[in-house]
Amino acid sequence: MALLSVSNAELYYDQVYALKGVTLEVNEGETVALIGANGAGKSSILRAITGLRALKSGEILFDGQRIDGTAPDAIVRKGIAMVPEGRRVFPLMSVRDNLMMGAFSRSDKAGIAETLDKVVARFPRLKERWSQQASTLSGGEQQMLVIGRALMAKPRLLLLDEPSLGVAPKLVQEIARSIVSINRDEKVSVLLVEQNSRMALRISQRAYAMTTGSVALSGNSAEMLNDERVKALYLGGDL
């Protein structure tokens, strides 16, 4: 049974459809990529999964239980955490306090402290900036902070919305490596939304390519990386 299953999802903004019959799955332990141009519906899927947007029809199951129609905070408690597009930090709060906000759904003090230690071990720059306001961090450091904040919820499924957007190339590689290690070492399943299709396909096991609210192609990521249709439509025609 899939950890996450989205079936025939339809979602509209006013009278304009954002998702039209989208079906996808994320299995336990997988990293799955969602690639496609701006406006293809990738972020709309994440908003539907996290309860920020209601489906018009279709259903979403997490660990065998239906979650569409569930409140966002309850979805976090079930084990899903999202890193939103645009590095939405709490700008006037310290790095430490931003991280602690991610643990709002938890009450296990010893466990929270253990998770905090793991997060700063994974992202040492955050420890160096511990007491600084989040607004003073670079774009890449803020991205590390929001990923770390999501991990503080101790999720089973991590949703990442354009983590490489606006980040310096050197830090994009660092963030890509951190996604791989979070999946491998923390045993967290990942659904990765990315316009950087090469990066997304290289660090995922499976992928779905979207266009205008629908899934156009899906399959093994390594095979899709070498698929002529994917190269032409999503990779600029070459590797």
pLDDT at position 190 is: 98
pLDDT at position 236 is: 60
Domains and CATH numbers, the chain: 4-234 (3.40.50.300)
Q: What digits encode the pLDDT tens for the residues 46-78?
A: 999 999 999 999 999 999 999 999 999 999 999
Question: Which alpha helices (DSSP H) does 13-108 contain, by range?
Answer: 42-49, 72-78, 95-101
Residue range 101-123: mean pLDDT, rounded: 93
Q: With 50 as the cut, is the pLDDT of residue 237 above it?
A: no
Residues whose CB is less than 8 angstroms from the CB of residue 177 and which lie 6 or more positions away in sequence, other chains included = none
Q: With 50 as the cut, is the pLDDT of residue 180 above it?
A: yes
**Residues pairing with 218 in the sheet:** 208
Model confidence at 165, pLDDT cuts 50, 70, 90, reads confident
As to burial, measured by CB atoms within 10 angstroms (0-12 exposed, 13-18 middle, 19+ buried), residue 222 is: middle
pLDDT at position 226 is: 87
Q: How far apart are CA 119 and CA 96, in angstroms?
A: 11
DSSP, res 133: B
* Three-class SS state of 134: helix
Residues whose CB is less than 8 angstroms from the CB of residue 134 and which lie 6 or more positions away in sequence, other chains included = 89, 90, 91, 92, 93, 94, 95, 98, 142, 145
pLDDT at position 80 is: 97
Mean pLDDT of the chain: 91
